[in-house]
Structure 1
Amino acid sequence: MRLVSEKCISMGILLASNLIMTSIGICLQRFLRQRNVNFLSTTQHIISCLTSGIFLGTLLMMIVPDSLELLAHRWHTMNIGYLFIGLGFFLICIIQDLINLYELYAFKQQVGTETQEILNSLKESNHDNRITRLITLVFALGTHNFFDGIMIGGQTKDAMTLWLVVAAICFHMSLVAFSVTLRLLIDNETYVRVFCAMFIWSLMGPLGVLASLLITSESSGLSLFNGVLQCLSAGTFLYITFIDMIHSDLMKKMFYPFVNSLLIFGGFSIFVLISLLHKYMH
């Protein structure tokens, strides 16, 4: 019962951390609009690499083993958890492809219009395109955030594990909220619209926690469904870690060779040391 209460508290922490970083991003954008932001960009990249390593450690040492354990004895010849982890991975791939197809369709529709019509309605067209980008971005990030919430609500079995996962997710998602806020403002979105969009996105994490708690609250009757759901979230976590985070960080050429890899390894080592300390204390 105490663990459930702590998970409810984590819902508020998830929401608050994202909204705080969104507000900081808005204020910082206004303050630094006419100033050099190289230092800010460098610091942001270092934190991003470190959190990628933390997520990698979370995935390999906590999320995947716990997910597979839930479905370990559901099939005689194999652990079907591997299947659902793969399905979770491809679920996000399909969602991303659908978003890309929609953006491509919208682009072709715009290109197919008459040149004169584009010139006459340039301002309105740009406004519509910004709205489209805003909606698709919030939907894509919100999907990931929702599954992160499911992972917090369902994957964690003790308080220490819960707060380790919450800290890792808050650390990264706060950075994402900060980065997305700045990017949307660079695209000339209004402050009110950006804050509303980020508020909707921030709500998805707590909603994921709530959904997982409602399912796991009757685990005796829904244990199989709970295991499937958690394996799907593990597959989603796999996508986020390798495709959204590590690959993106490794492709950025901001430092000398191997620095990005070393930073990611540093984040991974931090999580490994924390996990070993946790096991030693217990």
Structure 2
Amino acid sequence: MEYLLQVKLGALVGLLLLTLLFGFIPARVRWFQDTHGSETHRTVLSLISCFAGGVFLAACLLDIIPDYLTDMSAELAARQVQTSFPIPEFIMAVGFFTVLILERLVLHCQERSAARGEREPLLHAQGHGHGHAEAVDPELESRGHHAHVDLQAHSPFRSFMLFLSLSLHSVFEGLAIGLQNTESQVLQICIAILVHKSIIVFSLSVKLVQSGLRPGWLAAYLAVFALASPLGIGVGIGVMEAHLSSGALVQAVLEGLAAGTFVYITFMEILPHELNSPGRQLLKVFFLLLGFCIMAGLSFVD
């Protein structure tokens, strides 16, 4: 047990350091933050964003949702709950509509605030002042100074929900490591999570950079996300050491809410944003498929 604990602590440190390394590449490298470069530079940034969209799509369909449905079904079976009502799917829907309602409330408040300030003449001239998708300066759009058309697609609120859902899922991934009782299982799961999370945190960092977060907030987001899996490992170790078995149903419900959140972010924000932006449509689809296939291949190997 002593050696097993050392392996788990090593996995905790490894996940923390590797996540920080890959997360801070887009956050610290100026190349990823420059949206006023050449046409080639903006195209590469757009393709990287499409690749990230494919990664998130695969994470949603092949990782987060299957894990949640498996855990929830196991808990319902263990508690002998038999009903024709789709409880797991309903919990996901609750997570989906929670994010939808919160976002609409935020946008409603922004619209009312903008309506009160429309008497200011400079606000109309700025073009981007209201934050609406249709308020795009034609000159800026024609010059390509902004890589995308939808100005709400990378809003700080959506970026926060993306970060929150991925962080919650990372806690559960770490929990899976902490609850293992053999060294080989710990190493196998840890290697798989290391590979997956390196790609996901890089993609998340790209999205956070595109949302225009301040450097301090961006660093805080990445630090918290990096700590999510180690936190899960720590909780799992504590449960194993204390021989506790309760709380599995609460974990499954939280997984379902996180899955519903991630479904909203993937299908209402990431994919429409990338596919609706003009230019190089086939190449964007290719990079979207590339990101999906890489994650699918890693899931198949696992």
TM-score range, shorter chain: 0.7 to 0.9
Structure 2 distance, partners of 1:138, 1:236, is 15
Aligned residues: 247
Question: Percent identity between the aligned chains?
Answer: 19
Structure 2 distance, partners of 1:22, 1:83, is 36
Q: Which runs of 5+ in 1 are unaligned?
A: 123-128, 185-193
Residue 200 (str. 1) matches residue 225 (str. 2):
no
Residue 91 (str. 1) matches residue 111 (str. 2):
no
Structure 2 distance, partners of 1:264, 1:95, is 28
Q: How does 1:96-107 map to 2 (within 5 A)?
A: 96-107=103-114
Q: Kindly indicate whether the alpha-carbon contact (under 8 Å) linking 1:21 and 1:174 is maintained by their aligned counterparts in 2.
A: yes
Q: How does 1:1-282 map to 2 (within 5 A)?
A: 1=5, 2-3=7-8, 6-7=11-12, 9-25=14-30, 29=34, 36-72=37-73, 73-74=75-76, 75-78=81-84, 80-111=87-118, 137-155=155-173, 157=176, 158-181=189-212, 194-206=214-226, 208-209=228-229, 212=232, 217-218=238-239, 220-256=245-281, 258-278=282-302
CA shift, 1:180, in A, is: 3.3
Q: Kindly indicate whether the alpha-carbon contact (under 8 Å) linking 2:26 and 2:32 is maintained by their aligned counterparts in 1.
A: no
**What's the TM-score once normalised by structure 2's chain length?**
0.68
Q: CA, structure 1 residues 93+251, in 2 after alignment: closer, same or farther (shift >3 Å)?
A: same
**What's the TM-score once normalised by structure 1's chain length?**
0.73
Q: Kindly indicate whether the alpha-carbon contact (under 8 Å) linking 2:54 and 2:292 is maintained by their aligned counterparts in 1.
A: yes
Deviations 1:107-161 (A, max 9, x none): 123226xx5xx88xx9xxxxxx99xx9xx95454233212211111204642244
RMSD over aligned CA atoms reads: 3.4
Q: CA, structure 1 residues 211+163, in 2 after alignment: closer, same or farther (shift >3 Å)?
A: closer
Structure 1 distance, partners of 2:225, 2:107, is 23
Q: Which runs of 5+ in 2 are unaligned?
A: 124-129, 132-150, 177-188
Q: Between Structure 1 and Structure 2, which shows a larger proportion of helix residues?
A: 1
Q: CA, structure 1 residues 28+152, in 2 after alignment: closer, same or farther (shift >3 Å)?
A: closer
Q: Kindly indicate whether the alpha-carbon contact (under 8 Å) linking 1:148 and 1:208 is maintained by their aligned counterparts in 2.
A: no
CA shift, 1:177, in A, is: 3.3
Amino acid at match of 2:82: H
Structure 1 distance, partners of 2:108, 2:227, is 27
Amino acid at match of 1:102: C
CA shift, 1:199, in A, is: 2.4
